[in-house]
Amino acid sequence: MKCNCCCKSEKWTVENIGKQNGKNAIVTGANSGIGFHTALELGRAGAKVIIACRDKERGTKALKQLQIEAPEAIFQLELLDLSDLMSVRLFTKKYLASEEPLDILVNNAGIMALPERELTVDGFEKQFGTNHLGHFALTGLLLPALQRSDAPRVVSVSSAAAAWGKIELDNLQSERFYKPMQTYSQSKLANLAFMLELGRKYPWVTSVAAHPGATISNLQKHKYECLTKIIGQKAPQGALPSLRAAVDETNSGTYYAPKCWFHMRGTPIEVKLPSRTRNNELNNALWEESERLTGVCFQC
């Protein structure tokens, strides 16, 4: 299905990325889908990119493919399981030991609509634990490296599903009831709440967000796989909102998504945040609860 609603003058493509030479970037979940193409294009633009992947075999395969497609670029594979806080701590400890600045952090990895409620090794509901808490802890622990950058950027990759999400502080772990997409939506709304609070609490970080619309990837293996194959766009196109968020001249709080088909397809543009992100008190309460759950205190 081809999108014809964007005239050429309005299109934002990889040609708009610009030179990223000298920058260090981390992209989580970069072994496939939009994460792979986000890492690929940042590398092509000159950034040194760490692809942070949970599975060594799949990560190694992705690394080889990245090196084939962009032989002049610098890619590095590091293992990171966002559903395991010990893995997050080991990953960040290694990066901080390098004393390298971190210019771009793309919190991309995620899981969606697990049929049954599952737990992480730390006892969190798996979607919330991976999509939100894992990235919350990762960003907090990498804060010293972000501080070394002249212009640090954190991109939170959310979902169109965040629009119908609801953050319930007394049911963050879906203990009272579990509905796969409801739980997923809450985790993706939490990504946006985190993005806004990060920018508010740390104004020296450009904290922005993106969502890929309907993009064909492994994410839909439990839900909407057939529908996405019909209406969805391919991963290189789906990565464009994340890429624009990573490099655009913008301010914290900006949200990028596809332009067309109810923000499901097309060129990436700035879009409005869901109305439920406007509750600053709730966003801060989620932040404080996330610090308590993960044991990661940003100000410590």
Give the model confidence (pLDDT) of 217-257 as tens digits.
555 444 444 434 444 477 899 999 999 999 999 999 999 99
pLDDT of residue 234: 79
pLDDT at 215: 56
* Residue 107 reports pLDDT greater than 60: yes
224 classed as catalytic: no
Q: What is the mean pLDDT of the chain?
A: 91
* Per-residue pLDDT, 264: 62
Count of residues for the chain? Answer: 300
Interval 173-184 mean pLDDT: 93
- Please pick, among 184, 224, 255, 256, the residue that the annotation labels catalytic: 184
User: What residue ranges do the domains of the chain occupy?
Assistant: 19-292
Question: Mean pLDDT, to the nearest integer, of 141-148?
Answer: 98
Q: What percent of the chain has pLDDT over 70?
A: 88
Statement: residue 189 has pLDDT above 80: yes
pLDDT computed for residue 214 by the predictor = 61
Quick one: average pLDDT of 195-216?
91
- Give per-residue pLDDT as tens, 261-281: 545 657 999 999 999 999 999
pLDDT score at 4: 54
Q: What is the CA radius of gyration of the chain?
A: 18
Q: What is the pLDDT averaged over residues 55-65?
A: 97
Nearest by Cα to 254 from 266, 246, 263, 245: 245
**3-class SS of residue 96:** helix
Per the CB < 8 A criterion, the answer to whether 84 and 132 are in contact is no
pLDDT for 226 equals 45
The predicted model gives 50-77 an average pLDDT of 98
pTM of the full structure: 0.92
Query: Rounded to 5 degrees, what angle do the CA atoms 49, 51, 55 make?
Result: 170
Query: At residue 200, does pLDDT exceed 60?
Result: yes
Mean pLDDT computed over 61-87? 98
Give the closest residue to 108 by CA, choosing from 296, 242, 260, 259.
Answer: 242
For residues 24-29, average pLDDT: 98
pLDDT of residue 101: 98
Distance CA 239, CA 256 (A): 11
The 8-class DSSP code of residue 149 comes to S
Output the six-digit token pair for 112.
């969606």
CATH hierarchy code of domain 19-292: 3.40.50.720
Whether 163 and 274 have beta carbons less than 8 Å apart is answered as yes
How far is the C-alpha of 19 from the C-alpha of 168, rounded, in Å?
42
